[in-house]
Amino acid sequence: MLLTTKNKTAGGAHPPAPRLLKYTAGAAALWVALAALGRIPLTRFQDSLGAQALLVLVVAVAGTWLWGARKELAGWLVSPPLANLFLITLLLATVAGTVVVQGAPAEEFDARYGAGAWFLRLIGAENVFQSLAFRGFLAMLSVSLVAVVVRRKAWRTSEWGFLLSHGGVVTILFGGLLSSVYGMKGFIDLHEGKSANVMIPKDEKGNFLPGQVPLGFALRLDKFEIERYPLDYRFYVHEAEEEDYKLASSTPVNEAGRWTPIGKTGSSFRAISIYPDYQVRSEVRETAGPGGSPALQLRIQGAGQSQTVNLLAGVSGRDLLDLRAAKSLVRFVWELDEKNPPVTTATVPERHQIEFRSYPGAPPEEILVKPGDSLRLADGTYVLDVVAYLPDFVYDGKTKQAATRSTMPNNPALKVSLKTPVPGDAREMWLFGLRPDFSKDHNKYPNGPEIAYHYTPAREPAEREILVVGSTMEVLDYRRGVLSGRGPLRTSGTSVAGLPDIFCEQVLARAQEIHTPLTKTKEWRNPAAEIEIRTGDQVRRETLLAGGRQALRIGTGDTLLVLEKKPDDVKSFRSRVSVLDGANKVREAVISVNNPLSYGGFRFYQSNFRKEDPTYSGILVVKDPGLSVVYTGFVMISLGIIWIFYVRPRILHARSAARRVAS
């Protein structure tokens, strides 16, 4: 083969080093000149003196180089030094095209490579494989290989292996050049039932070009299919990193039954129960112990269903039943006093109340607050700053930030900062108005302060408000804040104040509400998990809601534990298409990733899809006329190697045997 030929010139002597350096410098100058020339549009040579001067310079450099080698050109054209020079140049260019970003915008290219950007542009490294220099040196290498084949008379039978192997390389180079010059790419947007007979062309950088390229036939999208991975909920651990959070680990719900570390906090968790369609069944039970609240149990009947509702007197948000359809409210109080005034025509503003105990069992401090307040609690021992208020709290899994879904107080939350007596110990936490006993950070203070948030929504006089007074078992009926009637409250399923669908079951002077979690269905509609969190020797139980509605802060608060659905990953997508010649269907095919359709000189690749439009399919179109030529070259090289190592030795052996017989 060429590279194994003896390293000699036509005269048999090695070329002197200075001459080799001269040719190398000439090759480098020619490369730079061709690279610069290739960046100039052909139309510029008609109007620009500078472009014409550059063309003259390139011709002069090439002519000088060829003139200097005119005596040895025939011999050197078939010698390894020239071939090696071409190969090394192309190898270095290939390395540059692999390492240097290709086709980047000028601003991005300059920002990435700084002061070296001008040199990379000088040698054409910003778009190597499409440059005139790369194509020119491929052509010169092809000429060198053809010259070697001719000089060696490789058409003789014994040299067919040499002819096939070297001719295969030339064929591959020609195929690559053919694809580079005449190949094109384009794009087709298709929707189910629609067809296209043109493509929008794209340049080497992926930018769309003006105009359209006809295909000569039509491609119709019959059906677009998306296959997704099964629905998968996971426990995700996010750790704070500067101003954002990064994902530390994830655990599928079906693998969370064992103790699993929570980041670097030293804590661990395990799932006790998983509820695909979470709901809570509540019931009240009479109790003689402390901590109970007066309770009114109502039954709502309608649409063939029955629902039990428990109202708790004195518990903000739990003492009111809003009957929007009937434009009525039912409110339960134990006594009519300054804490539970009767209904008036005045509007009641919303209230944010903090309940603080410096240690478990201490007398509570109850303070009305608003965002921006700074309070001193426990005789100045603690400082509480009210940082922010979100009326409809939700944890955004994408931004890793708390946000509000609406302006309605569906899930009111206060963000507070509590400074403890320990110097420098200021901790932020979220408090929730609908769950006064819950704080994302309450685990930080096992024997220290307790803090709760009570929210009372703003309220205007209702069309009708029914006030149930538990101590006197009396019902007061107000219309727009004006008392219009009163009567006794009767239990055991009696209708309340003439409301046909509301029935009173019982009234308990002191009761505890028992919550029983359960799943309504087996479908993943409202997932939640009951988990245990272990920190040292302490284990506590939490209920974690999915869908970004809740996040548990663990340890110092820099680690979040959330239950979320795994992103809606697409497993595969494919297009069922038909090729149309006029009104006739000539072919049906399925186009998927790594499974293109070849027809009419084009190859159609599945490129993309749109989640918001399941009928859309993006098809990448490639016309590569040199591809079959390149494949032919690989086949020729393979046949040439087989001929050299297996066929030629047998031919030579047969000839040698024939000569021995003849002699």
Query: DSSP readout, 473-535?
Result: TEEEEEETTEEEEEEE---SSEEETTEEEEEEEEEEEEEEEEEEEEESSSSSSB-EEEEEEEE
Q: What is residue 635's predicted lDDT score, i.e. its pLDDT? A: 92
pLDDT of 11 > 60? The answer is no
Q: What is residue 53's predicted lDDT score, i.e. its pLDDT? A: 75
Q: pLDDT band for 12, please (50, 70, 90 cuts).
A: very low
H helix intervals, 215-352: none
> C-alpha dihedral over 228, 229, 231, 233, to 10 degrees?
-130
pLDDT of 42 > 70? The answer is no
Q: What is residue 43's predicted lDDT score, i.e. its pLDDT? A: 60
Strand pairing class (195-202; 213-228): antiparallel
Amino acid at 143: V
Q: Using DSSP, how many helices (H) and how many strands (E) does the chain show?
A: 11, 36
Tokens of 478: 């107000």
Q: pLDDT band for 322, please (50, 70, 90 cuts).
A: confident
Q: Residue 424: helix, strand or coil by DSSP?
A: coil
Tokens of 479: 């219309």
Q: pLDDT band for 273, please (50, 70, 90 cuts).
A: very high
What is the DSSP-derived secondary structure letter of residue 443?
G
Mean pLDDT to the nearest integer, 393-421 = 83
Question: Which residues is 592 bridged to in the sheet?
Answer: 574, 595
Tokens of 452: 């709760």
- On whether the CB atoms of residues 300 and 496 are closer than 8 A, the answer is no
pLDDT of 68 > 90? The answer is no
Q: pLDDT band for 132, please (50, 70, 90 cuts).
A: confident
pLDDT of 10 > 60? The answer is no
Q: pLDDT band for 3, please (50, 70, 90 cuts).
A: very low
Tokens of 290: 């402390």
Q: What is residue 250's predicted lDDT score, i.e. its pLDDT? A: 92
User: Does residue 109 or residue 519 have the better pLDDT?
Assistant: 519
User: Does residue 392 or residue 7 have the better pLDDT?
Assistant: 392
Task: State pLDDT tens for residues 450-477.
Answer: 888 888 888 778 889 999 999 999 999 9
pLDDT of 226 > 80? The answer is yes
- Lowest-confidence segment of 4-8, 537-541, 585-589 by average pLDDT: 4-8
Task: State pLDDT tens for residues 227-257.
Answer: 887 778 999 999 888 777 888 999 999 899 9
Q: Cα 18 vs. chain centroid, distance in angstroms?
A: 58
594-597-599 Cα angle (round to 5): 150
Q: pLDDT band for 19, please (50, 70, 90 cuts).
A: low
User: Does residue 67 or residue 306 have the better pLDDT?
Assistant: 306
Sorted by sequence, the CB contacts under 8 Å of residue 376 that are 6+ apart come out as 382, 383, 384
Sheet of 538-545, strand order? 260-261, 268-275, 528-535, 538-545
Tokens of 630: 């390149």
